[in-house]
Amino acid sequence: IEEGRRRHRFDHVNVFHPNGKCYRFDPSRVKETEQQESARFFTRGKTVSYPVEGMAKGVIIDYKYTYDYYNPFRKDFFFPQWGFQSGQPVALSRLVFHLPQGQPFYYSLYNIDNHAPVVADKTTKEGRHIELTLTDVPPFIPEKNSVQYSDVAPYFKGAVLRDWQEIFTFLKKMHLEHVKPSPEIEKITKKIIAKCKTDEEKVAAIYHYLQEEIRYIAIKMGVASGWGGFPAEMTWAKKYGCCIDKALVFTAMLDVAGIWSSPVILSVNTAPDTKFNLPQIGFNHAISVVKIGDKKIFLDSTGSNARFPSHSGGNHGVQCINVFEEKIETVPVPRPEDNGAVYYYSLKLRADGNLEVNWKPTYVGNKESALRGYYKRVKEDNRRQVMESIVTREHPAAKLAKFDFHNLYELGKPFYFTIDYTIADYPKKAGPLRIFELPSLEQSFSETGLMERKFPLEYRTSYGERRIYELEVAPNLKAKFLPKDTTLVNAAGTYTLKTQKVGDNKYKIDSNFRRFGRVV
Largest CA distance in the chain: 97
pLDDT the model gives residue 40? 47
| pLDDT (average), residues 25-48 | 75
User: pLDDT band at residue 11, thresholds of 50, 70 and 90?
Assistant: very high
Question: What is the tens place of the pLDDT at every residue in 406-458?
Answer: 999 999 999 999 999 999 999 999 998 999 999 999 888 899 889 999 889 99
Closest C-alpha to 464, from 397, 380, 398, 367: 367
Return the number of other C-beta atoms located less than 10 Å from residue 197's C-beta: 8
Closest C-alpha to 26, from 9, 62, 50, 59: 50
Q: C-alpha angle 364/148/215, rounded to 5°?
A: 45
Cβ neighbours for 100, distance < 8 A, ≥ 6 positions apart = 127
User: pLDDT band at residue 62, thresholds of 50, 70 and 90?
Assistant: very high
Closest C-alpha to 458, from 196, 143, 74, 42: 143
User: pLDDT band at residue 224, thresholds of 50, 70 and 90?
Assistant: low
Question: What is the tens place of the pLDDT at every residue in 280-305?
Answer: 888 889 999 999 999 999 999 999 99
Picking from 206-220, 344-358, 495-509, which range would have the lowest pLDDT averaged per residue? 206-220
Return the number of other C-beta atoms located less than 10 Å from residue 77's C-beta: 17
- DSSP symbol at 304: S
pLDDT the model gives residue 108? 92
Helix (H, G, I), strand (E, B) or coil at 81: strand
The share of the chain scoring above pLDDT 70, in percent, equals 97
Closest C-alpha to 363, from 384, 383, 386, 337: 337
Q: Report the mean per-residue pLDDT for the chain.
A: 91
Neighbouring C-alpha atoms within 13 Å toward the C-beta of 252: 29
User: pLDDT band at residue 274, thresholds of 50, 70 and 90?
Assistant: confident
User: pLDDT band at residue 42, thresholds of 50, 70 and 90?
Assistant: low
| pLDDT (average), residues 190-214 | 97
